[in-house]
Each structure stands twice: as C-alpha cells, then as structure tokens.
Homo-oligomer: A and B are copies of this chain.
Amino acid sequence: TLSREFSTTSTASYSSSDEEDDISPRERPQVNSKGFTDFCIRNIKHADFGRREIEIAEQEMPALMDLRKRAQGDKPLNGAKVVGCTHISAQSAVLIETLSQLGAKVRWCCCNIYSTQNEVAAALAEAGYSIFAWKGQEEEDFWWCIEKCITADGWHPNMILDDGGDLTHSIIKKYQTIFRGMKGIVEESVTGVHRLYQLAKTGKLSIPAMNVNDSVTKQKFDNLYSCRESVLDGLKRTTDIMFGGKQVVVCGYGEVGKGCCSALKGLGSVVYVTEIDPICALQACMDGIRVVRFHEVVKTADIFITCSGNKNVITRDSLDKMKNGAIVCNMGHSNTEIDVASLKTNDLTWEKVRSQVDHVIWPDGKRIVLLAEGRLLNLSCSTVPSFVLSITHCTQALALIELFNAPEGRYKQDVYLLPKKMDEYVASLHLATFDAHLTELTDDQAKYLGLNKSGPFKPNYYRY
C-alpha cells in the first residue's frame, strides 16, 4: 500500500503472516537491534517494512514535515512528556516522530485492539520509541499497554494525546496526582470529546482540554471531502455497481450527505434526500435535489445511504418494501442508522457474498445487499487518504504546542476549540500540496478590515 489508514479490510491483507505468531507479545523477549527493550510489539523483524511505509507516508504528509523544519530551531515541545493513545499507522508514526523532533518525549499505545499496523509499531520500536501496541490484543492486553505508557521509571508525563478517552479516563481514575499536574489534553474523537464535556460539566476536569474534533479544517476533510470520495470507493469495491442513472436516497444533508450527493451526481446518479432540518432541506432543493420522505422512494430506489447521525433511519418495515437488489449502507457516525438487528429474524436468510457484503434474502427470493453490516462504509470498505490524516495529525500537533506553551491563565479547567488562528495555520501548511498561493493583506487593507495581517481572518463561528 502507498498509504492506508487502519481498516479491517486493508490491514487484513498486510498482516496475514502475523497469524503464525501464536505467542503473546507480552511473553516474548522484546529488544531492538541497539539493545533497547522498553516497548512491546508483535515482531521487531518487520521494522524495515514498517519504516518504508512510514517513509512513503512522509511524502504525503508535507505539513508535518514542514512543521518539523519550521519549529526545529526552538523546539517548542522541549520539556513536553506526552502519553499518546491512537491508532498505530504509518501516518500516526509520522506524527509521533514529529513530536519527538519538536522536543517531546513520548510513550504510545493503541486506542483499539485491532488498529495497530504491526510493521509500523516495529519500526517505531526499532527507532527507539516506547511503543506498546499490536494487532489483535485481548481486552486485558489493551489496558496493560495503557498502564505501561502512563507509568515508567522516571517518567512524569505532562500531556495527553487521546483518541476515544480511554487513556484519559485511566489516568483520571488511577493517577489523579499525575493528572492534576498536567498541562493539558488533546482529544480527537467524537466520543472522547463528549466524555470531556461530561467531565467539565461535573467539575472533574482539572486541566484544560482541547477538542480538535471540531476544528473547521479537520471537520471539512473528515466529512465533506473525505466522504465525497469514499462513498464511491466503498460502494464500488463492494458491489461493482455502475453509478450512472441509478436512483440513490441519501438520508441526511449535513456535511457527509452533501459530500455523498455531490459525488454521486457527478457520476450521473439521480439523488434524493431525506431531512428533518428545514434549512438543510432547503439547501438540498437549491442544489437541485428532490427532498422526499422515505416512503415515497423506498420501493423504487436502487441504493440507500444513511448519514443522519440518527438511529433507525432505515427500519425493517422499510427494508421489507425495498425492491430486489437494493443496496443499503451507512456513512453516518455510528452503526445505529440501519436497524440491522431487525433483519436477524428466522424468515430471512443471510448469505455472505464477499468480505463486507451480505445478501439478506426474503422468503420470496428478494435480496437486499447490506454493506459492512451497517457499520461505517467509509471505514469498513474504503480507506482514509493520507491527506485527511495529515490534516488531523497536524491539528493534534499544533494543539499540543498551543496547550504546552500557552501563558498561565489562557486556558482554564475547560474544553476548548483550537484557536481559529491555528486552525487557519493547519490549512496554510497544506496549501503547498496544491501549489496554491495565498494573497497577503496590505497594511492598508488589514486596517480597513480591522484584521491582523497574519489572521485570524474570520470570526470563530465562521464555518461555511
């Protein structure tokens, strides 16, 4: 692979050899070629392959590489000791090594028992990083790895980089002293952010936290631009369907829905939208899309895509009415949108046709094509482009720098958005990829607009 983020499909293919390794990494000797032993990964022998993956990823993540260069003189993370818990991929490795070059010390584990690329973990260990992660952990291993990152001889972590909140909550529960002494938390997931706001509400958040999930730049790429491509890819890889002329129902016209509709229309599909919000519905109208209720199109459409963030948007009743061959999938933020459980009844037969593709067969022979069992199509059946991860990881790095260097009192015991100016900076670091040239304000213009020449250029709420 040139560059792939974690996904069941894609990593499955790399790691087939791992199945041979029956012994748990925790029971195997762990030592790299220089005698370093403070890590725990699957197999150090795969370090070379992992290093090549990292090198390729570096080429596609110019912003982080740029950051290394720009910030190298003054090493803005000198003194930072970061505990990290994320997916372990070639792209996150580029982040880890960037933090290190900016002066930070790090210990790192994986936020999901399946989401480690073993070869990449090996390459990091070989390079001397304390990595505790492998693919296919037991639950118990998972918490053990987190522990190993929090505590170690002479290790007094002062920052958290988290994805999901498990690391943060481990520290809060068991290591309150460490927690209270920290400079801050950077959290990237919807779930983790939600948990942080809960903490803040209940007064348990004793240090500042930065919600990078809702950064403008990251949001646009995670939702609009990423889904615009992955909806096509996910559907094509699984079903080989031709998009031209197909009738597609997209449930929800937020950023994800807008991305899906735009891509499908570009290839000649006839798109319908369902919406609960009249403002989004009116936007669909103005984009030339018919806004319908589900029952109006359930019998005639060829493809159904949920991206509403809601639950039971597609019910058994609807599935009963769909025509033979209809394809049903989900691009929303969880697997609740399609009521998959309702399909597990005795009268229906499930037939696994391909990886991530099930035919659900009705007594009369009607087949519904269900993708990824209703989980996220974009993660399960497509890949996340390096460029999207470059945006995410760059945002995380800048959030760490901001929290670590912020003057006393700028951030309190609360959850913050990344300052607009740094959000803009993330974007600016990615313009070179497109050979895009930014215009600078003259002094006169800056004064006229009442803006600082280096930004921020828009109010915080601006996110068109």
Judging by beta carbons under 8 Å apart, are A290 and B278 in contact?
Answer: no
Distance in angstroms between the alpha carbons of A236 and B309 in the assembled complex: 27
Q: Is A71 interfacial (CB-CB < 8 Å)? A: no
Q: Is A12 interfacial (CB-CB < 8 Å)? A: no
Q: Is A406 interfacial (CB-CB < 8 Å)? A: no
Q: Is A148 interfacial (CB-CB < 8 Å)? A: no
Within the complex, which residue of B2, B224, B309 is in contact with A357, where a contact is CB–CB below 8 Å?
B2
Chain B residues with Cβ below 8 Å from A461 are: 461, 463
Q: Is A433 interfacial (CB-CB < 8 Å)? A: yes
Within the complex, which residue of B59, B245, B267, B324 is in contact with A285, where a contact is CB–CB below 8 Å?
B245
Q: Is A200 interfacial (CB-CB < 8 Å)? A: no
Judging by beta carbons under 8 Å apart, are A458 and B288 in contact?
Answer: no
Judging by beta carbons under 8 Å apart, are B240 and A424 in contact?
Answer: no
Distance in angstroms between the alpha carbons of A245 and B391 in the assembled complex: 14
Judging by beta carbons under 8 Å apart, are A229 and B242 in contact?
Answer: yes
Within the complex, which residue of B225, B232, B243, B275 is in contact with A438, where a contact is CB–CB below 8 Å?
B275
Q: Is A143 interfacial (CB-CB < 8 Å)? A: no
**Residue on B nearest A382 in the bound complex, by CB:** B236
Judging by beta carbons under 8 Å apart, are B300 and A288 in contact?
Answer: no
Distance in angstroms between the alpha carbons of A293 and B220 in the assembled complex: 24
**Residue on B nearest A215 in the bound complex, by CB:** B279
With contacts A279-B427, A286-B268, A423-B279 taken as known, whether A240 is within 8 angstroms of B436 at the C-beta atoms is no
With contacts A431-B278, A437-B293, A438-B291 taken as known, whether A310 is within 8 angstroms of B449 at the C-beta atoms is yes
Q: Is A349 interfacial (CB-CB < 8 Å)? A: no
Q: Is A276 interfacial (CB-CB < 8 Å)? A: yes
Judging by beta carbons under 8 Å apart, are A444 and B312 in contact?
Answer: yes
Judging by beta carbons under 8 Å apart, are B290 and A270 in contact?
Answer: yes
Q: Is A244 interfacial (CB-CB < 8 Å)? A: yes
**Residue on B nearest A458 in the bound complex, by CB:** B277
Judging by beta carbons under 8 Å apart, are A424 and B267 in contact?
Answer: no
- Chain multiplicity (copies): 4
Of the 9-residue stretches A95-103, A127-135, A258-266, which lies at the interface with chain B?
A: A258-266
Interface size class on chain A is: 35 or more
**Residue on B nearest A354 in the bound complex, by CB:** B1
Interface positions of A from 34 to 50, Cβ below 8 Å from B: none
**Residue on B nearest A445 in the bound complex, by CB:** B310
Question: What is the 8 Å Cβ interface bit string for chain A, positions 114-149, against chain B (1 contact, 0 not)?
Answer: 000000000000000000000000000000000000
Chain B residues with Cβ below 8 Å from A369 are: 2
Judging by beta carbons under 8 Å apart, are B1 and A225 in contact?
Answer: no
Q: Is A428 interfacial (CB-CB < 8 Å)? A: yes
CB of A158, distance to nearest CB on chain B (Å)? 30
Judging by beta carbons under 8 Å apart, are B458 and A59 in contact?
Answer: no
Chain B residues with Cβ below 8 Å from A444 are: 311-312
Judging by beta carbons under 8 Å apart, are B254 and A464 in contact?
Answer: yes
Distance in angstroms between the alpha carbons of A125 and B424 in the assembled complex: 53
Interface positions of A from 421 to 447, Cβ below 8 Å from B: 423-425, 427-428, 430-431, 433-442, 444-445
Judging by beta carbons under 8 Å apart, are A428 and B1 in contact?
Answer: no
Judging by beta carbons under 8 Å apart, are A288 and B312 in contact?
Answer: no
Q: Is A241 interfacial (CB-CB < 8 Å)? A: yes
Distance in angstroms between the alpha carbons of A424 and B448 in the assembled complex: 34
Q: Is A239 interfacial (CB-CB < 8 Å)? A: yes
Distance in angstroms between the alpha carbons of A228 and B288 in the assembled complex: 13
Q: Is A457 interfacial (CB-CB < 8 Å)? A: yes
**Residue on B nearest A428 in the bound complex, by CB:** B278
**Residue on B nearest A293 in the bound complex, by CB:** B437
Chain B residues with Cβ below 8 Å from A274 are: 439
Judging by beta carbons under 8 Å apart, are A59 and B244 in contact?
Answer: no
9 tightest A-B contacts by CB?
Answer: A266-B266, A291-B436, A278-B428, A242-B385, A278-B427, A245-B285, A277-B457, A285-B434, A244-B286
Q: List 19 A-B contacts (CB under 8 A).
A: A2-B240, A4-B240, A229-B242, A232-B267, A240-B385, A242-B386, A242-B388, A245-B288, A265-B266, A267-B288, A268-B285, A276-B457, A278-B438, A285-B433, A292-B436, A292-B437, A296-B437, A309-B449, A311-B448
Residues of A within 8 A of B (CB): 1-4, 59-60, 216-217, 220, 224-226, 228-229, 232-233, 236-237, 239-247, 254-255, 258, 262-263, 265-271, 274-294, 296, 300, 309-313, 324-325, 336, 353-354, 357, 369, 382-383, 385-388, 423-425, 427-428, 430-431, 433-442, 444-445, 448-449, 455, 457-458, 461, 463-464
